[in-house]
Structure 1
Amino acid sequence: MAAVTSSRPYHIIVFGASGFTGQFVVEEVARCTAEGPGGSLKWAVAGRSRQRLEGVLNQAARRLSMPELRTDIEIIVADVSIEESLAVMCQQGLVILNCVGPYRFYGEPVVKACIENGAHCIDICGEPQFLERMQLEYHSKALDRGVYVIGSCGFDSIPADLGILYTKQQFKGTLTAVESFLTITSGPEGGSGHDATWQSAVYGFADSGSLRRLRKRFGHKPLPVVGARVKKRGSVFFSKEIEQYAIPFMGSDPSVVKRTQRFLYEEEQQLPVQYSAYVGVGSLFSVVKLCCGGLLFWLMVKFSLGRKLLTTFPSFFSFGLFTKAGPTMKQIEDTCFSLTFFGEGFSEGKEPSESRPNDKICTRVIGAEPGYVATVSAMVQAAITLLNELHSLPRRGGVYSPGAAFSKTTLIDRLHNHGIKFSVRSYP
């Protein structure tokens, strides 16, 4: 039974609209509404404080020169700690864009309320423990209610997950393995992230043992390895591919991609792709600084006092990479990302085997500042895709990774038309 109906007053509700990321999501939804035919997308904002939400709409109205936002957009007061308020919010929207993090603390009540009240839920979570626990505990309930819960629809991990799908589509044959390298380029003022992302990292690393125990509860069998098994790189190495030092990427991308590959293997009988993710860190001096900071971080997250210090003074302990104020508009404007995929496989006509693959491909996903430009674009386009192409999503509902949910939709094309560009490159 599909619980979501078109009789609801709003297509999209931005929950947590007054938060740092939520403000950017509000502006992106407003822009997309203006682009659409006749302003057909109906939306509202939600959060704890009506006054702050009014301020966000006023700010968006000024920045976008859209004075109608001050009067035309409905405000819904909702709080994650008040179940009734979440229910009222979810009963009014087709899709809830949940911007309230860290999700390990505030995400589950929203997922639960969405499922119980028949609203689809999209978030931008980069916390594997939360994402995988929601799948374990709520997939069947969401499926029964005809509701889609799709996490990680931002930077962590839309570019990685859909980048793999794009690489697979472009490869003439059977793709068996991919390595990705992320580089972020900033202007003279550098770049920074908001405190909420830092908090997610602190508590995620502190509770990594719970993630291992959680994964055992799934009872998954290992995915088959097609082609030669790819060797993991070292903890720090010089990458010829991007001509700088690199380290394994510590975000949710590998977790999200693996969930997608498992879904495609089990549900679509597609051979899984091995995946390793790395991030460029620059010069040898940057490596030394990173190692010192990483060691200090690793020691401090083990103790409650250390975690308290890390979350109280994010700028100091992250060397300015994360701040309570978040990046300035100038920093955002001067920052961009590039995610390059180096894939290998068996060319068309050659049967996949355990031998070494005989063909290669290089693709790239590029975009503007990842945290507050690319992320909000990805989140909003995911919501619009869900609304317009519900028939192309798997089954009747459930909890999915982005690649699993959107593999048969036009989301890659939508992203490409909204600043997140996908392309095939020549292999170096």
Structure 2
Amino acid sequence: MTERLDIVIFGATGFTGQYTVKEAARLAKSKSFTWGIAGRRKEALESVLKEFAPEEENIKVITADLKDEESLKEMAKQARVIVNCAGPYRFYGEPVIKACIAAKTHHVDVSGEPQYMEKMQLEYNEAAKEAGVYIVSACGFDSIPSDLGVVFMQDKFGGEVNSIETYLNVWNTKNVCGSSSLNYGTWESAVYGVAHANELRALRTKLFPEKLPKLEPVLKTKGIVHCSAFSEGWSAVFPGSDRSVVLRSQRFFYEKYKQRPVQIQTYITFKTFFQFVMTAVVGGIFLTLSRYSFGRGLLLKYPKLFSGGLVSKENPKPEQIENTHFSITFIGKGWMDKLAEPTDQHKEEPNKEVITKVSGVNPGYGATCTTLLMSAIIILKESNKMPDNGGVLPPGAAFAKTSMIEELVKNNVKFEVVSVIEK
């Protein structure tokens, strides 16, 4: 049998896939891994290599089609890790995971789709363990900064964390007229994610039959919109997958290591109240239309109209995305001392507050492709520091005990402690 490549990027002709190819060419110089690309059309794949990795030679091109199960298995047999960029994962993710488990190949992707991720954990966790492979989703901007940011907070807190509130800020230093900020695939995933959100309750009842312990004081969600001393502007609950991913990791830490689970709420901040109102209006229309098939048809046919210009079927311009910055501020509250058991209740009110921050550039594609590939590299090089010899895991649970955070810092994703207050 031919020796396996370390990494194969599947879906390399898509927008995220193209940037992942570009990042693979950069990282391979310092991380010394072998890699290839895969997709349906050989000519299109070769064009991607010419444009995004022009200096690379002898990069293997593999043809694999989501409609051809055998081709997916053959692709998986040629890699140690499949980096899957072919979404929406609700429709296209499961066949690749099945092929990876059959071939005993690890799998990472950038899904931000809770239904998909939790269904894969429910149905394939035991099979992945038996095969000795890791299946890790949410390895992009959704949700490495949040999930590993919470792990970073817990590590630096120096006591016991009760609750964490996060505030996401995204801004652009060079707005490009007429350019969208998100690609169409992200929009499509969101449309179907909202449409099928009612699946989550039944799914979670099966996946998590036992509830986490109720711990005091309970973290309460702030109102529809609020101003915070920790984030300049107007903040509202962030509707992305970050919170659900973090909670899966916290449950894992509680069940595996008897660690007190952290309560979390995620917020996004808008610079002006007008921005919040306009986003709320667009969001309300989006939520309403997503519930009906004809509405979903409109959203998918006219994304630019219904997203207020944030999304179009044309890919974002490089100068737009490369000048986009992000920061997530974490406000952790808890106690200076740690009790013996994770279910023990503190008698006094929280007496410690720590603020940390994760920040970077180009969250949708630059930071996402970096975190995605670093996830694959960490699996290759530090699987002995990962739990259970395999399984379907969120990134926090998978990478908490590895050098993932240190490696991301080396690659322009900054983790920092901002302040510590003891009362």
**TM-score of the alignment, normalized to the shorter chain, above 0.5:** yes
Mapping for residues 65-214 of structure 1, pairs under 5 Å = 66=55, 69=56, 71-189=57-175, 192-214=181-203
Q: What SS does structure 2 have at the residue aligned with 1:389?
A: helix
Contact 1:227–1:354, Cα closer than 8 Å, also in 2: no
Distance 1:148 1:330 in 2: 35
Deviation at 1:427, TM superposition (A): 5.9
Deviation at 1:262, TM superposition (A): 0.3
Partner residue in 2 for 1:269: 258
Q: Which runs of 5+ in 1 are unaligned?
A: none
Q: What amino acid sits opposite 1:8 in the alignment?
A: E
Q: What SS does structure 2 have at the residue aligned with 1:41?
A: coil
Name which of 243, 256, 259 aligns with 2:232.
243
Distance 1:349 1:291 in 2: 41
Distance 1:399 1:269 in 2: 20
Partner residue in 2 for 1:379: 372
Assess, with a 3 A threshold, how the Cα gap between structure 1 residues 218 and 61 changes in structure 2: closer, same or farther. closer
Alignment partner of 1:51 is 2:43: yes
Partner residue in 1 for 2:210: 221
Contact 2:21–2:53, Cα closer than 8 Å, also in 1: no
Mapping for residues 386-405 of structure 1, pairs under 5 Å = 386-405=379-398
CA RMSD after TM alignment: 1.6
For normalisation by structure 2, the TM-score amounts to 0.95
For normalisation by structure 1, the TM-score amounts to 0.94
Mapping for residues 275-354 of structure 1, pairs under 5 Å = 275-348=264-337, 353=346
Contact 1:227–1:356, Cα closer than 8 Å, also in 2: no
Q: What amino acid sits opposite 2:175 in the alignment?
A: E
Deviation at 1:349, TM superposition (A): 6.5
Q: What amino acid sits opposite 2:312 in the alignment?
A: T
Contact 2:12–2:48, Cα closer than 8 Å, also in 1: yes
Partner residue in 2 for 1:232: 221
Q: What amino acid sits opposite 2:248 in the alignment?
A: R
Distance 2:285 2:361 in 1: 31
Distance 2:396 2:297 in 1: 36
Moved over 3 A (4+): 348-352
Distance 2:74 2:188 in 1: 29
Q: What amino acid sits opposite 1:9 in the alignment?
A: R
Paired residues in the alignment total: 414
Assess, with a 3 A threshold, how the Cα gap between structure 1 residues 349 and 372 changes in structure 2: closer, same or farther. closer
Q: What SS does structure 2 have at the residue aligned with 1:177?
A: strand
Contact 1:17–1:23, Cα closer than 8 Å, also in 2: yes
What CA deviation, in whole Å up to 9, does each residue of 1:17-76 have, x standing for no partner?
11000001011111111123xxx41110000111110110000234xxx1xx2x410100
Name which of 23, 28, 32 aligns with 1:28.
23
Q: Which runs of 5+ in 2 are unaligned?
A: none
Contact 2:86–2:93, Cα closer than 8 Å, also in 1: yes
Distance 1:339 1:75 in 2: 37
Distance 2:140 2:113 in 1: 12
Contact 2:90–2:116, Cα closer than 8 Å, also in 1: yes
Q: What SS does structure 2 have at the residue aligned with 1:105?
A: helix
What CA deviation, in whole Å up to 9, does each residue of 1:327-350 have, x standing for no partner?
211112211100000001100377
